[in-house]
Chain A
């Protein structure tokens, strides 16, 4: 059995930032366990630019963003186990992992940071009728084929779902000479960042068809086309609008699911909306000494926020290793009207690491102008006006220690649309 102070599961952006921050905080015995043959996680296939504007104040590609962290690992003493898959974790922080060289490894950690990321929703989650021909890919799989393996999965492409990876792949396929016929989105608004709709679709004249979905996939051996239809306000297809679009490839960009099989083994409390564990202000789960950050906690749209969150988790873990008091039941944070979730789920002002605490949240629907109010049992703590709120763009609000200390009972975040009728 191996003994480690801090084990980090996952060597993507969350795991890398957490490991480096923990080392900086003086944690000596840090180990990263990564199932892939290299570090960087999904960033290595995200070759497009747009990363790092918050953290590095410059625009980097995914691999460049990852490399900044990988380069810093040297001389830190952080141990990295590659090609190693964690298969079990217990409540008392015992980790079982396997690799082809050492077989089964058993590691007893004093603290654990979960940074396993997320995976894509597949066709099975959508129940689209039709045969099971070749040519149906999740957007991320297609991204790996094109950007890492170097081959094209198809020539005539229809993309279902306007998630960011789908939008990015629409541009990538077009640049590589394929024809992207359209992007279909079942909701009446795009599910990706506005900048991606502009630079990936509008730049290349690719139509974004809102309130549309695929109702049938044609072809037996290879995709031959899809039938698409408009949907009504209940998202039910309107059959009279059905239309056949020939294509050889269907890409799915229909959402991401935090990969929490391991987290569930610890018995940590879960949030049904994020599909990740509940955490307090140090990103600690309800399971003492086990922390979570990045897409395993909730799906992010910007890696910069993953980095910020991972650093917080690392500082929480460093603090836990020193003081050995964790998993406090504290003042709960509630997502009220207009918000799908707010993170962290609990705060305790006496135990805050900094003078300020970041809160991350997502709206339930797009709003042009909205008022965010933070309330407690003894009244409103703070209000802030926001413009162009979208469910796909995470809202990040900072509250000072003095503001949080004014609250009693709970902190409730409410988002209300303002002046909906203008323009």
Chain B
């Protein structure tokens, strides 16, 4: 028996409502998407949902507070908590450039966490 799931695409602000028909974990049909990225998002969302994680890490600098960081690519949703836990223990020394790797292979996802701003 097939199952229908509604997915709201978060790739862009259009927010397409995409209907996905699934049977035994296989996608039978997709409708309502308006671009290829939306199609891919809906496929991932029902099989293995992924998100870009954005957070902060501690900064070893005088006036500094925290440094904004992000995962270079989306990571599985189920790994978000573990990634946050790992990043809790990371602190970075200035100067930092946007794009510098802050933590390699976060939570065993194979994805690096990078700085998302310069700090001199």
Contact = CB atoms under 8 A, between A and B. Distances in A.
Interface of A: 44, 47-49, 53, 59, 61-64, 66-67, 146-150, 172, 175-176, 193-195, 197-199, 203, 301-302, 388, 393
Give the bracket for the number of chain B residues in contact with chain A: 20 to 34
15 contacts: A44-B117, A47-B116, A53-B11, A61-B54, A61-B68, A62-B68, A64-B98, A67-B98, A147-B56, A150-B65, A195-B11, A195-B12, A195-B13, A199-B51, A393-B15
A197 B8 CA distance: 10
B68 A147 contact: yes
Contact of A199 (B10, B68, B70): B10
B77 A67 contact: no
A64 B116 contact: yes
Residue with the greatest number of chain B CB neighbours at <10 A, chosen from A49, A172, A176: A49
Given A150-B58, A193-B13, A195-B15, A63 B51 contact: no
B47 interface: no
A198 B8 contact: yes
Given A63-B117, A199-B51, A388-B17, A149 B65 contact: yes
Residue with the greatest number of chain B CB neighbours at <10 A, chosen from A150, A302, A388: A150
B118 interface: yes
Contact of A193 (B15, B53, B117): B15
B120 to A, nearest CB: 11
A148 B10 CA distance: 26
A176 B58 CA distance: 13
Contact of B10 (A63, A195, A301, A302): A195
Contacts of B17: 388
Contact of B118 (A67, A195, A301, A302): A67
A342 to B, nearest CB: 19
A203 B8 contact: no
Given A49-B70, A193-B15, A63 B116 contact: yes
Interface string B43-60: 000000001111110100
Contacts of B118: 67
Residue with the greatest number of chain A CB neighbours at <10 A, chosen from B13, B15, B52, B53: B13
B90 interface: no
A147 B98 CA distance: 16
Contacts of B53: 175
B107 interface: no
Contact of B55 (A44, A149, A175): A175
